[in-house]
Amino acid sequence: MKHERATLPTPISTNSFWHTEPNGFLLGHRTTEELPEEADIVVVGSGITGSAVARYLADDKRAKGKSVVMLEAREACWGATGRNGGHCQPLLFDRLPDVAAFEIKNYNTVKSYINTHNVPCEWRSVSGCRTFWTEEVMKEAEQALACLNKFAPDIGKLVSIIKDKEALKQHRVDESCIGATISQGAASLWPYKLVTFVLEKLVKNSKLNLQTNTPVTKIISEGSKHTLFTPRGLISTSTLILATNGYTSAILPHFADLIVPVRGQMSALLPPKNSTILPNSYGMVGALSQPANNDDYLVQRPFHGVPNPAGHLMFGGGRGAGRLPTVGVSDDSIIDEGTSAYLRSALLKLLELEGETDGLKELEATAQWTGIMGYSRDNHPWVGKVPDKEGLWLVGGYTGHGMPNGTLCGKAVVDMALGEQSGENVHVLQEKMVESGDIPRAYLITKERIAKARLFPTVTVQEQEGIHINRLV
């Protein structure tokens, strides 16, 4: 089964709650009126990864004096980062230990930046509560955690299992749940506000030329020169970094089967009257007959101390209840009403929301929207140089798990690109980075990895058959 190329981001999209307080400085922003004809470095994409790439370029002495242009098809942070669930939660026991350690490092890096710069993005440190609703998925979680405790006990100690009904009740989980894991080191946040803080700071400090509403329609590479075609003209560069995630294959066709667009859906729900804030961020596995490989996910906004402090329940998932295709779909202008109905009603069955719930069948949605994730065929992001393309770098394919990965993946690709420009052997450099925990080996782009990934079932088949590729690699 062949995956078609992604399409470019649609000009019109559904209205994400995260965009209800837009950054006025960045709306429609073009640092220069005309698109430059060339730049030392061009970054495509302005989400969590693209903004990290730009930030680490600005901080690196090796890039001093280099011109950096960022191209964004729509407004800044209008893709997946501006549409996601608001989580920054490492997954500790269903990943390889070095991946779990990397995600923890990424989480701490994001937290440190927000604290250092006092970023007003509603960061709230919480525990991660992952709930399991069938015996089968609970058993899988227990086996994975046992394996983690054996091979990486320092990470394993960050996770505990609860099955006792009273313990579940303390975490506001319905007693029909089979069990849950509680992980240390998770957070909820307003992702758009974090990314736009970074971009505005870079632009105002003359570290970045940001060009919004400038989609890249085609790339022609000749040797180390890459020419990008846009409706506003051409721009050429010797160093091109694609932070395009689910839209990657629209301009890099041979990645069509490796990074596949998948449409997800989110909602901002008003909590029951007189309810109190939930203590955790939540994942729901196998809940209400949902496929076990499509988790639902939830964080809650504050009730006070922020603009619009309504305690919105930011709830996403529900793809198993949808009526429309999601895999291979790049269009985020459409809402699936089947998924919407599920998201409005499910939390009343899964959690003890407290407050006035008697007779309440569903929660009121103040916003419902969709976004495009980039699912990786082997379940790992793709970070590094595109084979046989001098000066072309790629970072993306997070399989719906970009917030605990994108920042340090962006840093890694910057270190690789600038290192090679400085005369380092990129393969030797990558080995050093793997050894120091700066990038998991499984994330690196190689010809061998591409060939191996193509032996796995396609993303469509994985979704249809509920295959967990992380169990196979």
The length of the chain is 473
Residue 317's closest CA among 363, 272, 269, 263? Answer: 263
Sequence letter at residue 91: L
Query: In the prediction, which pLDDT does 471 show?
Result: 39
Sketch out the chain's domains with CATH numbers. Answer: 17-82+192-260+378-471 (3.50.50.60), 124-189+262-370 (3.30.9.10)
User: Integer distance in angstroms from the first to the last C-alpha of the chain?
Assistant: 21
Tokens of 300: 């809650």
pLDDT digits (tens, 9 = 90+) for 177-215: 999 999 999 999 999 999 999 999 999 999 999 999 999
Q: Taking Cα atoms as reference points, which of 265, 264, 270 lies closest to residue 340?
A: 265
Positive or negative: CA dihedral 462, 260, 344, 167: positive
Element (H, E) at 181: strand 179-188
Q: Residue 49: which H helix or E strand, with range?
A: helix 48-59
DSSP run (H or E) holding 383: strand 382-385
**Do 181 and 133 touch, CB atoms closer than 8 A?**
no
**Run of H or E including 229:** strand 225-230
Mean per-residue pLDDT of the chain:
96
DSSP one-letter code for 133: -
Q: Which two tokens stand for residue 408?
A: 């340090």
DSSP-assigned states of every residue in 387-449 = TT-TTEEEEE--TT--TTTHHHHHHHHHHHHHHHHTT--HHHHHHHHHHTTSS-GGGB--HHH
**What are the CA-CA distances from residue 232 to residues 71, 87, 222, 472 (Å)?**
11, 35, 21, 45
235 touches 38 (CB < 8 A): yes
Rounded to whole angstroms, how far apart are CA atoms 175 and 310? 27
The number of beta carbons lying within 10 Å of the beta carbon of residue 453 is 18
Quote the pLDDT of residue 466.
81
Dist. CA 234–CA 252, nearest whole Å: 17
Q: Rounded to 5 degrees, what are φ and ψ at 259?
A: -125, 110
Integer Cα distance of 282 and 300 in angstroms:
9
* Residues in the chain with pLDDT values less than 50: 471-473
Residue 108's CB: how many other CB atoms inside 10 A? 13
> Looking at residue 327, what DSSP letter applies?
B
CA geometry: angle 58, 63, 67, nearest 5 deg: 80
| pLDDT at site 470 | 53
Contact between 129 and 287 (Cβ < 8 Å): no
Looking at residue 323, the DSSP 8-state letter turns out to be: S
**Structure-block tokens of residue 255:** 């990645």
Q: What tokens were used for 172?
A: 């506001």
Whole-structure pTM value: 0.97
Q: 191, 172, 97, 105: which is closest to 348 by C-alpha? A: 172
Query: Phi and psi (nearest 5°) for 97?
Result: -55, -40
CA distance linking residue 406 with residue 410, whole number of Å: 6
Beta strands in 133-178 (DSSP E): 159-162
Pairing mode of beta strands 159-162, 179-188: antiparallel
Rg, the chain, Cα only:
21
